[in-house]
Structure 1
């Protein structure tokens, strides 16, 4: 696989690992993100990994940009073409209350997919997802991939207010809304755990390349954990 790298400003580079999305590539990008930050500690300000790219901001005074570009291209191509990847990812489990009183689209998806509500819950919660990208809002992780049995397009007209903690599906991706916001994804549950806290370190419980699982919980446990109806 050929890796492409370009300067996009006086203080940033972008590395293209490919042009098609797959979970294995995301894991390689996540590993590269860790590696470059460790090697250039104190010189790299921020890295933003995504589905097929990694955007990197660096200190222009502390960094030899030509050396950085050469190292990034060499290291990225080595990782992209290696047969095995030693992942540094972790698995995070989130509690979810799957019920129509917090999930306005749960029964609709079940009917649309000719499944029972419990089958939708089982299919969604028994899968393991990869954090493919973080964006849209702080703490909003795009998770892939949803089982085709319950994959469903987003609403044609977004809701003006989606409750904080809403667990939702859009096509083959799922996510948790970290705060109340407009949104068009199909809501199937609610998670009472905060996904973004500026006063904590780290501010988010996951990063790109990590794995996410969902654990169904009862109404009582949901309320005990701070869930809102």
Structure 2
């Protein structure tokens, strides 16, 4: 039984807090509310930003007052049911070159867990991940849940520069950096996939609800796919 809360998110925005803890079972509720908002708000809807536990609803304040928008949300929440089909999202693959030269945290993670590099890669690629949220940077997809044997805290000191396409883990989550940026996640490898392109119809390659498989590829295949093999030293 969920007890959602509607919180003020500034002019033209309400944050619906559906849950207080991260859980894969949250996603059908969040996606169901997101779809219902699209219908209920119509042309007044500006944007929807789903996350692990919340949905940010942004609307046009020239078309709806805050009270009107809040009442619409209250009406939807009164009859909200999860998407039992769980059919949201698409099946996606990310080819990944796992190598210490581009995944400098591979050796230390393997040593800490008494695993060989091949075993660690096998664990990371054995799971089909769900995209629970987009954030931090355009196209950065928070995916879970990671095998508990791979769980690792963020780095004590974030790297000032993480290369585009770097595949990483933190806590029970995994992701890939869509652009060069600072970052404190543990780097395992790289994908050649363009994760964000403002000129595409769907600018982010990964969308909330997608099911994602990491597919290990050789250095040669990575290069053929347009990957950058420039090494990155461990911190």
CA distance in 2, matches of 1:7, 1:159: 34
**Equivalences for residues 184-203 of structure 1 within 5 A:** 184-203=184-203
1:64 CA drift (Å): 5.6
Cross-structure match for 2:219: 219
- Work out whether 1:167 is the aligned partner of 2:167: yes
CA distance in 2, matches of 1:19, 1:158: 27
CA contact (8 A) 2:143 2:173 kept: yes
Moved more, 5-14 or 139-148: 5-14
Q: Secondary structure at the match of 2:138?
A: coil
- Structure 2 unaligned runs (5+)? 230-235
Moved more, 135-144 or 21-30: 21-30
**Equivalences for residues 10-29 of structure 1 within 5 A:** 10-29=11-30
CA contact (8 A) 2:28 2:84 kept: no
1:65 CA drift (Å): 4.6
CA distance in 1, matches of 2:184, 2:152: 12
Between the two proteins, the alignment pairs up a number of residues equal to 228
CA distance in 2, matches of 1:136, 1:173: 14
1:45 CA drift (Å): 0.5
Q: Secondary structure at the match of 2:80?
A: helix
Q: Secondary structure at the match of 2:223?
A: helix
CA distance in 1, matches of 2:163, 2:11: 40
- Post-superposition Cα deviations, 1:60-113, rounded to whole Å, max 9, x if no partner, equal 232365444333223235335x59354322221111111112111111111111
CA distance in 1, matches of 2:120, 2:189: 11
- Structure 1 unaligned runs (5+)? none
- Post-superposition Cα deviations, 1:124-183, rounded to whole Å, max 9, x if no partner, equal 011011212211111111111110111111211111111110000111111101111111
1:214 CA drift (Å): 0.8
CA contact (8 A) 1:17 1:76 kept: no
Cross-structure match for 1:158: 158
Q: Secondary structure at the match of 2:118?
A: helix
Q: Secondary structure at the match of 1:9?
A: coil
CA distance in 1, matches of 2:124, 2:114: 15
Q: Secondary structure at the match of 2:212?
A: strand
- Post-superposition Cα deviations, 1:15-47, rounded to whole Å, max 9, x if no partner, equal 111211111112321232122113423110111
CA distance in 2, matches of 1:29, 1:69: 17
1:209 CA drift (Å): 2.3
Provide the TM-score with structure 2 as the length reference. 0.90
CA contact (8 A) 1:164 1:180 kept: yes
Cross-structure match for 1:125: 125
- Work out whether 1:113 is the aligned partner of 2:113: yes
Cross-structure match for 1:180: 180
RMSD: 1.8
